[in-house]
Each structure stands twice: as structure tokens, then as C-alpha cells.
């Protein structure tokens, strides 16, 4: 066998090709040799055993290492069958040993059988389970398996997915590794759970689903194959039967029509059928093989079945051939997957933070984390760069803040819209009436303007406060998210930075709330602007006063008047007021209209400036000071606690280390065995 495998785990295509060639060159069992092989201890296909054994050892060692936990499937012969189909009897015949027998399910755990021919006169038998190896003997084998099964699956009649490995080193057995699964039963017996069928079905499907699995479907000749539950399950994963081989038991009990059943192949058995006669009663295995040979040689019906389809020796030969082929086909891919997963695990482990061993290292790491978090916040909150969070639009902070600011401005203006046109001039007239004094009638009292202003400001005063709360709640989420991201590998640091973040944002929010409350109070109690737009807008509005007054007092048929810059206003209800009152009310309204634009603009502009200033201060000064004070200023050893990894990080590191150890051992197993094979060529 020409196999090239270097220490990096690369396997040439030559390996697969040479293995398949050797499978083809395997000597077939002739009719003359059938009798000899059935009654002697000459190992079946012994010359091929010597060549396939190293590869089988490699796969067995990988199975023992449980490389399947890494998602790497191994080539496996999986033995399935309905309850009492004769599964265990077939395996007994192949191994030449007795397995547990009794009522109900005999196989309650999946039994991994490793058969190995060796020349020593005495067989070597052992059981491997729960991390231990228990030597046993042929005489005690059945009891030993029963005890091990009870330990694994309990003393009731339940099943378990924990494997039990039986190692049989015996003269004359074929080199095979098979997995015997619990027999399929639909009706629970006493002591079994009600969902016993579902449990067994789940285990079977788990093992037969991978493409690397060869299904040995054990069928009883006494039943219609199409009704077998094991056939139904195997067809779910292997519809065309390309990786299914059938062993037909109890041929001596139902010889009529058996030839037609195995040749018609109504159930798609792509790898063929082998009819066998299992040991009966106290027959020795040697006697059983002789009886089997005589049965298929002399029976009037069974003798018509082709000799390449009958007998335990033929079944053993087929299994060895199939096993060799699938191992040769799968091994290069297994090596590739092991190396791929090993490199990925090593890379992931290297990306994890190193374990801190001193307070100095902890302080350095801490300052690095604060610095990186500060830079991230500068990018996303101050500079508007979001390359770190391309897909998370919530973290595109400047865009979201502009959206909130636009919404805030819209709410302010919407809340004031009705004041401009609804009940036009009525509030102004009422205020003027209440402000009358013994004075010249053509003066507009300043108190009237302030009274209107206070009322308008009071109406919108809740909007800036609510906006401040909304913005800081959003910023708090962003800040905490960034801090948690940069400190995710240090559980204790996360706790401290989270506390510091919440405390800082709460203080900043309170400061902004006090500031905006003060701004609202200033707008309510004082009136001033140097903005020339105020006078310009007032003059444009006042230029329409004459036409407005004329339509109110002289044109009784006109119900509305359009004021440029303000809109259409109702005037019918104003005709009962004197001209000087209308003139004063119109002047007061236009002054407030022009000034209110300035007030709203100030509430928006000041808010934008305030937030930008506070956010910059938060990121560049307050946050770092708060976190340092939270962590370093305490006296409970918070920095030292940084040396403790979070449970999640510790578990991840442990998982990666275990995975790397397993994959390296697996890699070495393959490399060592392949090097050995190459040196023997």
C-alpha cells in the first residue's frame, strides 16, 4: 500500500487509489475454500487483514479519542435491525464469542466491537467504558457486558447513548470495527420509558446519517423486508442503498421464497445481501459454521442461492472489503478536516487575551482597554465614523443624534402651529384688556408681551426635558455597549466599567436636565435678541396691518385674511372690537410671531451645542476619570480581580485547549501510522 503522509497531515491521492486497488485484488472466497474457512481458525482474508490493520487501528484510535466531538465523522460500519432480528447472533458469529441474551432489548447501549486477528492461542478480550478498561474472558464475556451495560444505562431496561467498546483479539476473526445499536422496538416493556422507540430511533439516525457510515441492516428471513423498521430508517438517509448491506438471518426457518426476496431487491440494498444461519442452542461456532455450509450446499431451496451471497465467511469478507474501501476514501478528508479545525482552534486561542499574571499587567491591560474604548467612542459619537459597526445602524451615532434632533425641532414647531392661526388675536386681546391702566392708549405694555411669551414657553417646556432624557438614554446604551465589547474578556472589569458608565451617564443626564430647565426658564422670564431677523420679520408682518384692519372693519363679507409669512386667519369674530384694540393686538401678535421663531431656533441650536460639548467632554475626559476612580479608587482589590477570567472566557479557553490537545493527538495518530505503513512498503 503506497501511502504518503507528512507531519503536517497532507495525504496524497495515491493513498486512496492504492487502497482501492488492494480491495479489488483481495482474493475471493471460492466454493472449495468455503468449507475450510467455515470450520477452521484460519483468519478470513488474512493477507488483507495485515494490510488494512494499520488504517483500521488509526480510525479506532481516533474513535477512542472521540474526535467526533469536533464534528469529524469517521468511517463506521453501523449494525441496525428490528428487535429480535438476530443482530447479536450475527456479531457473535463474526467474533466467535457469546453476547448477552434475554427477554426485551439485549443491546441497550451502542456496542463498538473491535475485532482483530492475532496468532496467540488464547484470545484477549476487554471492555472499555467510562474511561476504564476491564479485561475479561470468553466464559465471562456475556456477564461482563451485562454488568457494564447496567453501569452505563442503569439496571432497568432503558437505553443510553454512551458507548461500550468490546475489544476482541482472537485467532481467526476478521479485522473489523462495527457499532451495534439497540434493536428497534415500538412497544415498551416493563421498566422502559414510554418514548423508548423515539430514543432508539434518535440514536440510530445519529449514527447512520453521516455519509461515512456503512449500514449493515440485519433482516430476518421470516418477515417481509418492506415492513422492517430498520429498512425504513436506512432509506431515509440512504434512499438508493448505496451504502447499505443486508445480512439475512434465520434462513433455515423460512427458506421458501428467500431466493426471490434477495434477488428482487424490493428495498434497494445497493451493497447486496448475504444470507446466514446463526448458531442454535449449544452449538459451538465451529459446528455452527459447518451446519451453515451444509445448509446452503444441500438444502433443496437454499442451495440455489449463489455462493457469493451466503455464509458468515462471505459476510466477513464483504465487510472487510467495504471497510477498506471507505477508510481509503475517507481518510484524506479526515486528515484535512483535523488540520483545518486544529489551525482554526489555535488561531482562535491566539486571538484570546493572554492570562494576566501580575497587577502591573492588569493595569497595563486596563489602560489599554480604556484607551481603545475611548477611541471607539470618539469615532462613532464625535467624528461620525462607524467602520467598526457597519451592520449595526444603532451604533451610527451621529446620524441617529441628527435624527433625534430633527424630531425634537419638529415637535417644538408642531406644538406651536395652532397658536399662530387658531382663535386669532383672542389671547392678545384678552391680555391687553387685563393690562389696561390709567395711561396713554397708544403704548403697548411690555407685561403683555411677557405674559404671552410665558404661556407659549410653558406649553413647550416638557419637550426639551424629554429630549434630553431620550438622548442620554441612547448615549448610555452606546457607551455601555462599547465598554462591554472592549472589556468582554475580563469579567471583573466589565462589572466596574458598567457601574462607572451608568453612574457617569446618570450624572451627565442630571446636568443636562438642570441646564435645559434653566434655559427654558430664561426664555420664559426674559425677552431679548440681537438677531436682525426679528426686526425684519416684524416689519414684513406689520406692513400688512392696514389691509388687515380694513378687511376686519370695512369688508363685512370677508371671513378670512391671508397674512404673508403666517397663513390664512379667521377675522369674522374680530369685528366687534375697536380699531385701536385691533391695532395693538395685531402688533403684539406680530412681535410674538417674529420673536417665537428666534426662541424655537435658540432651543434647538443651544441643545445641539450643549449635547456636542457634553458628549466630547464625556468621551475625552469624564469617562476615563470615572472608570479609573471606580476601579483604582476602591479598596477591594478591583485591579487584582482583573486577573480572574470570566466564567465564559475561562470555559472557552478550556474548551479550545481540550480541542487542540485532542486534534493534535489525532494528527499524531494518523502521522505515526502512515509513517509506519510507508516504511514497510
Angle at 89 between CA 259 and CA 55, to 5 degrees: 95
Answer whether residue 68 shows pLDDT above 50.
yes
Rounded CA gap, 400 and 404, in Å? 6
> Comparing 109-123, 261-275, 288-302, 404-418, which segment has the lowest mean pLDDT?
109-123
Question: What average pLDDT does this structure show over 315-327?
Answer: 89
274: which strand partners?
247
* Coil/strand/helix, residue 515: helix
489 is written with which cell numbers?
Answer: 474578556
Rounded CA gap, 524 and 454, in Å? 5
Neighbours of 132 (CB within 10 A): 8
Answer whether residue 506 shows pLDDT above 90.
yes
pLDDT at res. 439: 65
pLDDT at res. 386: 86
Answer whether residue 28 shows pLDDT above 60.
no
23 is written with which cell numbers?
Answer: 480491495
pLDDT at res. 279: 86
Question: What average pLDDT does this structure show over 455-481?
Answer: 95
pLDDT at res. 21: 44
- List the one residue out of 607, 425, 455 whose CA is nearest residue 525: 455
pLDDT at res. 399: 93
pLDDT in tens, 574-594: 988 889 889 999 999 999 999
pLDDT in tens, 609-625: 999 999 999 998 888 88
pLDDT at res. 177: 87
Helix (H) or strand (E) holding 178: strand 176-180
Answer whether residue 430 shows pLDDT above 60.
yes
Question: What average pLDDT does this structure show over 440-463?
Answer: 87
pLDDT in tens, 135-192: 988 888 878 888 888 888 777 666 777 888 888 888 888 888 888 888 887 777 666 6
124: which strand partners?
169
Answer whether residue 401 shows pLDDT above 80.
yes
Answer whether residue 106 shows pLDDT above 70.
no
Give the confidence band of 518 by pLDDT, cuts at 50, 70, 90: very high
Close Cβ partners of 372 (under 8 Å, ≥ 6 residues apart): 486
Give the confidence band of 86 by pLDDT, cuts at 50, 70, 90: confident
Close Cβ partners of 484 (under 8 Å, ≥ 6 residues apart): 494, 497, 498
Answer whether residue 17 shows pLDDT above 50.
no
Amino acid at each position: 500500500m503506497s501511502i504518503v503522509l507528512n507531519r503536517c497531515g497532507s495525504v496524497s491521492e495515491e493513498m486512496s487509489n492504492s487502497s482501492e486497488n488492494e480491495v479489488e485484488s483481495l482474493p475471493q472466497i471460492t466454493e472449495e475454500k468455503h468449507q475450510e474457512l467455515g470450520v477452521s481458525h484460519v483468519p478470513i482474508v488474512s493477507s488483507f487483514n495485515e494490510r488494512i490493520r494499520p488504517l483500521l487501528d488509526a480510525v479506532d484510535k481516533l474513535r477512542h479519542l472521540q474526535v467526533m466531538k469536533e464534528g469529524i465523522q469517521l468511517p463506521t460500519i453501523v449494525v441496525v435491525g428490528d428487535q429480535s432480528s438476530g443482530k447479536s447472533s450475527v456479531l457473535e458469529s463474526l467474533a466467535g464469542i457469546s453476547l448477552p441474551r434475554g427477554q426485551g432489548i439485549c443491546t441497550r447501549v451502542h456496542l463498538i466491537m473491535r475485532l482483530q486477528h492475532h496468532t496467540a492461542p488464547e484470545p484477549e478480550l476487554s471492555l472499555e467504558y467510562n474511561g476504564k478498561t476491564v479485561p475479561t474472558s470468553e466464559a465471562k464475556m456475556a456477564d461482563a457486558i451485562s454488568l457494564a451495560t447496567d453501569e452505563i444505562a442503569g439496571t432497568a431496561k432503558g437505553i443510553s447513548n454512551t458507548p461500550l467498546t468490546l475489544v476482541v483479539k482472537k485467532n481467526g476473526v476478521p479485522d473489523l470495527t462495527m457499532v451495534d445499536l439497540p434493536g428497534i422496538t415500538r412497544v415498551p416493556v416493563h421498566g422502559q420509558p414510554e418514548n423508548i422507540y423515539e430514543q432508539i430511533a434518535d440514536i440510530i439516525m445519529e449514527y447512520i446519517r453521516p455519509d461515512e457510515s456503512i449500514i449493515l441492516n440485519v433482516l430476518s428471513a421470516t418477515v417481509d423486508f418492506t415492513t422492517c423498521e430498520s429498512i425504513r430508517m436506512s432509506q431515509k438517509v440512504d434512499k438508493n442503498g448505496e451504502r447499505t448491506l443486508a445480512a439475512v438471518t434465520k434462513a433455515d426457518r423460512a427458506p421458501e421464497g428467500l431466493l426471490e426476496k434477495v434477488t428482487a431487491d424490493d428495498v434497494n440494498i445497493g451493497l447486496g445481501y448475504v444470507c446466514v444461519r446463526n448458531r442454535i442452542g449449544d452449538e459451538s461456532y465451529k459446528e455452527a459454521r459447518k451446519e451453515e455450509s451444509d445448509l446452503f450446499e444441500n438444502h433443496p431451496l437454499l442451495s440455489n442461492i449463489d455462493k457469493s451471497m451466503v455464509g458468515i465467511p462471505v459476510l466477513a469478507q464483504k465487510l472487510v472489503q467495504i471497510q477498506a474501501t471507505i477508510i481509503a476514501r475517507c481518510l484524506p478528508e479526515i486528515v484535512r478536516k483535523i488540520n483545518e479545525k486544529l489551525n482554526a482552534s489555535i488561531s482562535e486561542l491566539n486571538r484570546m487575551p493572554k492570562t494576566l499574571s501580575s497587577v502591573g499587567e492588569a493595569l497595563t491591560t486596563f489602560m489599554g482597554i480604556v484607551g481603545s474604548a475611548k477611541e471607539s467612542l470618539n469615532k462613532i459619537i464625535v467624528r461620525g465614523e462607524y467602520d467598526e459597526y457597519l451592520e449595526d445602524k444603532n451604533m451610527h451615532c451621529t446620524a441617529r443624534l441628527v435624527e433625534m434632533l430633527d424630531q425634537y425641532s419638529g415637535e417644538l414647531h408642531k406644538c406651536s402651529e395652532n397658536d399662530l392661526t387658531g382663535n386669532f388675536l383672542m389671547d392678545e386681546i384678552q391680555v391687553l384688556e387685563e393690562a389696561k391702566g390709567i395711561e396713554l392708549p397708544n403704548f403697548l405694555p411690555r407685561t403683555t408681551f411677557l405674559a404671552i411669551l410665558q404661556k407659549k414657553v410653558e406649553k413647550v417646556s416638557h419637550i426639551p426635558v424629554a429630549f434630553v432624557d431620550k438622548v442620554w438614554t441612547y448615549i448610555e446604551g452606546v457607551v455601555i455597549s462599547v465598554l462591554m465589547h472592549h472589556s468582554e474578556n475580563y469579567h471583573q472589569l466589565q462589572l466596574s466599567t458598567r457601574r462607572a458608565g451608568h453612574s457617569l451617564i446618570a450624572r451627565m443626564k442630571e446636568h443636562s436636565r438642570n441646564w435645559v430647565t434653566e434655559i427654558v426658564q430664561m426664555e420664559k422670564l426674559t425677552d431679548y435678541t440681537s438677531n436682525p431677523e426679528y426686526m425684519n420679520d416684524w416689519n414684513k408682518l406689520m406692513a400688512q396691518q392696514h389691509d388687515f384692519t380694513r378687511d376686519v372693519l370695512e369688508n363685512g363679507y370677508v371671513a378670512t385674511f391671508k397674512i404673508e409669512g403666517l397663513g390664512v386667519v379667521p377675522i369674522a369674530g374680530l369685528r366687534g372690537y375697536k380699531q385701536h384694540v385691533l391695532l395693538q393686538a395685531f402688533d403684539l401678535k406680530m412681535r410674538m410671531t417674529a420673536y417665537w421663531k428666534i426662541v424655537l431656533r435658540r432651543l434647538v441650536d443651544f441643545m445641539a451645542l450643549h449635547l456636542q460639548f457634553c458628549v466630547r467632554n464625556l468621551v475625552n475626559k469624564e469617562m476615563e476619570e470615572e472608570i479609573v476612580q471606580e476601579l483604582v479608587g476602591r479598596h477591594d482589590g478591583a485591579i487584582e480581580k482583573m486577573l480572574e477570567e470570566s466564567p465564559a472566557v475561562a470555559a472557552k479557553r478550556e474548551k479550545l485547549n481540550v480541542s487542540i490537545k485532542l486534534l493534535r493527538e489525532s494528527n499524531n495518530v494518523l502521522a505515526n501510522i502512515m509513517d509506519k505503513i510507508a516504511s514497510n512498503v
